Every structure is written in C-alpha cells, then in structure tokens.
Amino acid sequence: MARSSATHQTLGLAGWLLASFIAGAIGGLASTTDASFYGQLLQPAWAPPAWLFGPVWSVLFVLMGISAWLVWRQYGFRGAGVALKLFAAQLLANALWPWLFFAWQQGAVAFIEICLLWLLIAATMVAFWRLHRVAALLLVPYLAWVSFAAALNFALLRLNPVALG
C-alpha cells in the first residue's frame, strides 16, 4: 500500500511539473519564434538581458508545479477543486502572454492580460493559503517576477508605442 502511495505521489508530482512546463513551452514557442523582436525594442535601463528569462522561468515553473502538487497531495481534486482550477487558469494566462507580446506584438493587450495573470496568481495564492501555506509561499517568487514583468511590459509599451501597438 505504501509503495502504491509513493508511486501515486511521484506520478502526481511529475504531472504537476509537466503541466507547468507545458504552459511554459507553449508560451516559449511564441518568444523563441521572434527572439530578435525583444532585442530590437528600446529598453528601460533596468531591463534584464534576454538570456535571463529562461533560467528564471525554469525555476518558477518548478516552484509552481511543486506548489500545486502540495495542495493536490493533501486535498485531491475534490477537496481543492477551486484552488486547482485557479491554478490551471493562471497557467493558461501565463501561456497566453508571450503570444500577445512577442508573436502578435500587442503590447497594450499583453499588459492588460498580464494584469489579469497577476490577479489569477494572487487568487491562487489566497486559495492555496487556506489549504497549504507552504504551497502559497512557493508562489511568492512567481508573483514578484510577474509584477516585474508587468512593469517591464508597461515600460516597453511606453518606449515602443509603434512596435507594440
């Protein structure tokens, strides 16, 4: 019985990590198809180099997957349905933003969408906090990075209104 439970938990962790990285891969397709676009934009002085985004997002997707797994492990889908649906919604919003910004070059729409993403992450954190505080805390770096990304999106939009219009 314990062996089956350990296998179940391991598969669950793998599933949540996979879900997070699939969202990242979907978004990553948009940013890699037009990687030169970001480099051509006028940048604020505080903008990070393009190479930094991949490693940061990789760490964040690991934290996101572990966070959802902790909630799922303790409560399952029945006990944490709303929280896990919020998590799934923010994953979808996360995957959409790079398409809006990089592939479709819609800076204003991307800014509105990243604000929605921020709200979904915050709502997920609140829902997770009620169920598993460590799971909620694992999302703090993600919310901080999306806050920074939203500020960068806004600054890039202001500096590049034609390219991102």
Burial class (CB in 10 A: 0-12, 13-18, 19+), 105: middle
**Are the C-beta atoms of 132 and 115 separated by less than 8 Å?**
no
Write down the pLDDT at residue 50.
86
Write down the pLDDT at residue 35.
66
pLDDT tens for the 165 residues of the chain, in order? 455 699 999 999 999 999 999 999 999 999 876 668 888 999 999 999 988 999 999 999 999 999 999 999 999 999 999 999 999 999 999 999 999 999 999 999 999 999 999 999 999 999 999 999 999 999 999 999 999 999 999 999 999 999 998
CB atoms within 10 A of CB 24: 20
Question: What value does the CA radius of gyration of the chain take, rounded to a whole number of Å?
Answer: 17
Write down the pLDDT at residue 1.
44
Domains in the chain, ordered, with CATH? Answer: 2-159 (1.20.1260.100)
Write down the pLDDT at residue 32.
78
Q: What is the DSSP string of 89-140?
A: HHHHHHHHHHIIIIIS--HHHHHHHHHHHHHHHHHHHHHHHHH-HHHHHTTH
CA–CA gap between residue 116 and residue 105 (Å, rounded):
18
CA atoms within 13 A on the CB side of 104: 12
Length of the chain: 165
User: What are the respective helix, strand and coil percentages of the chain, to the nearest 5?
Assistant: 85, 0, 15
